[in-house]
Structure 1
Amino acid sequence: MTEELLIYTQKITPRVSYVFKHIFVRILNIPIKFTSTIEEFVAHDSLKMTYAKAPLGNEFFIQSHGLLFEQGINDIEITMSQWDSTPCFFSKGKKSAIPFDIFAASFYLLSRYEEYLPCVLDENDCYPAEESIAYQNNFLDKPIIDVWAYKLLKALKEKYPEYQHQPNSYKYISTFSINQTFLYRCKGVIRNLVGGFYDFFTLKIFEVWMRIAVFLRIKEDPYDTFDKIISLQKKHNIKTIFFFLIANYTTYDNNVAFTKRKYHLLIKSIADYAKVGLLSSYFTMDNEEKLSKESDRLSHIINTPTKLSRQHFGRNKLPETYQKLIDLDITEDYSMGYLKHIGFRASTCTPFYFYDLDFEIQTPLRVHPYAFIDNTLRFNLQLSPKQALMKINHITNMVKQVNGTLISVFHNDCLSNFGDWKYWEDFYEEVLKCVKE
């Protein structure tokens, strides 16, 4: 059994408990216990540390910033520095075993403190990457909290050289957002006629032929790549999660009708091989009634309560969106990331629980941060498949170094070798080879 770390701090606040558990328990796999009793701490003759303004003696000591003992949102001045070659902030004095209060810094990033502050939102009314300190200080592509945690571990081992650490193991989770289940099939005569006329008058003759061939069942729908995805899941033994859009038709949510029997059968068949979650539609960010309806629809199709969700277009407004998910008993969210940039929105590659700064509590909602999306690589960064693989390899290596969890977002059309995804047919399998555990 792994040795327990005793932590002395003058006040065990919800913030202290939350961030220490993330760093020690979830990232480093070190069980911890808190005490505010000096006598208990002094009597403890094993692994221990102090988190306070000043040390009690010559123990392993980290000087605290005030953030974890505050409540509410305040305007905090952030001054970036370097810890060796690693960006960091909240620098501390020489008595501290490490030169920064990484617990306060990690809480700031993990709670998404900066997203509660005034900022200019993007075209989807979301917090843009460009506003974040991670983007502005060039560490968005690094799971910086996990990196800090392992630097902390190194310092702890120097203090306790006999300590035997048992690290976590690297994991990979492949997720698919299904917002266009089929390109032509199940979309009705009128939608296909309008689309066909548009293709014809824009001289997309091959697309016109494909549309007719699919309608007459001569050809399979280009986006029907589900058998291939499941086959690759089995071949590479990959944990896969599918998020299905089951919304009313809007400009932003233009999937096949959620009432279609073929769509229901597809979801049921996928649920036999992989986990299934809800891809919440565009307007659910501000509308709990819509979110509840869509959650109920999925529950009815798969005959089990909806527990996993992701927001379509990444429309995740903190804390309101997460509060709505919690009210509906959704326990796992996969929306933590940026649509136009690869990297780590919460600066960690380890799943964490959402901390609600409005109520100063750790919630039961587990957040799974993703690192990259196929669309971001293809359209926003405009990379070739080879260039995209190089980016993914870079991200993967960093996550492996800290024994984290790498989560990707793909779409079924990525495997279609059709339209914008021409010549990308083998990209997904190449990624699976690159990221394997």
Structure 2
Amino acid sequence: MTFLVETPVTFAPERDFILEVLFGEFLGLSWRRVSNDRKDISVILGGQPGEIRLPDGLFSSQEADWLTVGSMPESPLSQWDTRDLAQDITLVDPILPVIYGDRSPVAHREGDTIRLPLDIFGSAFFMLSRYEEAVRPDRDVHDRFPATASLAYQAAFLKRPIIDEYVEILWAAMQRLWPGLERKPTKARTRVSCDVDNPFSFTGSLPRTGRRLLGDVLKRRALKLAIRNLRGNWAARRGNHDLDANWNSLDWIMDVNEEAGRSVAFYFIPEPSDPRFDRSTSLDDPRMRGLLRRIHDRGHEIGVHPGYSSYTDPSVMARSVATLRRVLGEMDIEQAQLGGRQHFLRWQTPTTARLWEDNRLDYDSTLGFAEQPGFRCGTCREYPLYDLEARCPLRLRERPLILMECSVIAERYLDLGYSDEALKMMHELRETCYLMRGNFTMLWHNSHFDNEADKKFYLSLL
């Protein structure tokens, strides 16, 4: 059976995109859209009585307001107590922020018609397309859209996969009208990744090494670590990496994930683009070739981690992808897909996605905030990206990043260190993804295992 969705005539490409994501990808349901002269949205199931009606928010914007502040959600957001629809909906909390919808949200049922106070489709498009990032000018020192500028942070739903919850609202309404309906089954999973920014601990200049040792003693108050690093540096300069924590962590990551029945995606910087931030080792280095071989032979994934300047630079991006493809080709390493993540999580909507698309990459996993973990895109599901300027869907798929270890631990971000609060936050994010039967996508750098607590935290999340 096919759902018939009646909508106003405006923004047809955007409506078709989000209907395919929500109905087709997330729920696994067949749908067809028709346009007519109406102000709201109607959803009916072919040949069956019953109708769901929803307000039309974002897509009722004037053309002149598109991609301007005039089309942004009205703040503060309304809060809807969804228990007036049903008590058994899978939600993080029954009190749900309304991105676009009624200012006094209440669900109504009259006979075979349910009216929801929430513009599910416009709100989902807003979050999944990263609409606000193309509208708001806010940027941090690395030219990244900051978490604090996001609606999710300002309206206190960054720790909620809000669009996954909206889909559950839609599904709850469908079940009440058409109880025999079945959706696509999904299973929660943990996706583990590692950005190999620094494969070796001791490749820096002597002054940089000196600063690190001073930091071990004065800042981290870890004399044993300083001594170990001093010995490791001495050995590394003679070709012995047995004491190199960064290098040894790579095999340890594979070991523990294999024990847990998981594979890991390792992302490499193929072409340095800025000497201040890209300190990678050439993939033509025999040690790196050996590492790539081990990763592949052990059943893990190799991906691209384009350098600091690549996110808006077509030539840097193209060189990065071409270099990785060349190396993999020379090593006869074949993979079903090639994806990765931007270095420093630098991302410009829609420019960066377009660069990935142009270079025939299959998926990206950049979209999480550096300074805050959570649900930047409002979902823990994989989905196709949308080009807001060209007004068309991309082949490129997004795997939203939910947790980066330093977002929680590092002093420059939340600064929770290795506290119980830090571990609790990480586990709550994982549990939320599993509640929604989504993907807990976790990034832990191989260079972030100096502290034994790192391994404890990491193992507990597997």
Answer whether TM exceeds 0.5 for this pair.
yes
Q: Does the aligned pair in 2 maintain the 1:350–1:405 contact within 8 Å? A: yes
Q: 1:268 aligns with which of 293, 316, 323?
A: 293
Partner of 2:400: 369
Partner of 1:220: 243
Q: Does the aligned pair in 1 maintain the 2:364–2:398 contact within 8 Å? A: yes
Q: 1:198 to 1:395 in 2, by over 3 A?
A: closer
Q: 2:346 aligns with which of 315, 326, 332?
A: 315
Task: Give how far 1:214 is off.
Answer: 3.7
**TM-score, length of structure 2 as denominator length:** 0.81
Q: How do 1:385-396 and structure 2 match up within 5 A?
A: 386-396=420-430
Q: 1:228 to 1:36 in 2, by over 3 A?
A: same
Provide structure 1 residue ranges, at least 5 long, that are not aligned to the other structure: 48-57, 433-437
Partner of 1:81: 78
What is the percentage of aligned positions where both structures have the same residue? 22
Q: Does the aligned pair in 2 maintain the 1:122–1:128 contact within 8 Å? A: yes
How large is the Cα RMSD of the aligned pairs?
Answer: 2.7
Q: How far apart are the structure 2 equivalents of 1:373 and 1:314?
A: 10
Deviates more, 1:321-330 or 1:219-228: 219-228
Q: How far apart are the structure 1 equivalents of 2:453 and 2:14?
A: 48
Partner of 1:237: 261
Partner of 1:54: none
Partner of 2:221: none
**Does the alignment pair 1:144 with 2:162?**
yes
Deviates more, 1:394-403 or 1:368-377: 394-403
**Does the alignment pair 1:135 with 2:153?**
yes
Q: Does the aligned pair in 1 maintain the 2:51–2:114 contact within 8 Å? A: no
Q: 1:168 to 1:30 in 2, by over 3 A?
A: farther
**TM-score, length of structure 1 as denominator length:** 0.86
**Does the alignment pair 1:210 with 2:225?**
no
Q: How do 1:34-53 and structure 2 match up within 5 A?
A: 34-35=33-34, 44-46=46-48
Q: Deviations over 1:242-277 (max 9, x none)?
A: 101122361111122444221122123212321111
Q: Deviations over 1:221-257 (max 9, x none)?
A: 1112122111122111124211011223611111224
3-state SS of paired residue (1:426): helix
Deviates more, 1:196-205 or 1:251-260: 196-205
Q: How far apart are the structure 1 equivalents of 2:125 and 2:210?
A: 54
Q: 1:219 to 1:350 in 2, by over 3 A?
A: closer
Aligned partner letter, 1:46: Q
Q: Deviations over 1:383-421 (max 9, x none)?
A: 32543331122112222222111111111123x3x2xx3
Partner of 1:61: 53
**Does the alignment pair 1:403 with 2:437?**
yes
3-state SS of paired residue (2:22): helix
Q: 1:198 to 1:81 in 2, by over 3 A?
A: closer
Q: How do 1:333-352 and structure 2 match up within 5 A?
A: 333-352=364-383
Q: How do 1:231-310 and structure 2 match up within 5 A?
A: 231-248=255-272, 250-272=275-297, 273-303=299-329, 307-310=338-341
Q: Does the aligned pair in 2 maintain the 1:15–1:69 contact within 8 Å? A: no
**Does the alignment pair 1:111 with 2:111?**
no
Q: Does the aligned pair in 1 maintain the 2:192–2:441 contact within 8 Å? A: yes
Task: Give how far 1:364 is off.
Answer: 0.8
3-state SS of paired residue (2:115): coil
Q: Does the aligned pair in 2 maintain the 1:270–1:276 contact within 8 Å? A: yes
Aligned partner letter, 1:8: E
**Does the alignment pair 1:172 with 2:172?**
no
Q: How far apart are the structure 1 equivalents of 2:212 and 2:404?
A: 28
Task: Give how far 1:22 is off.
Answer: 1.7
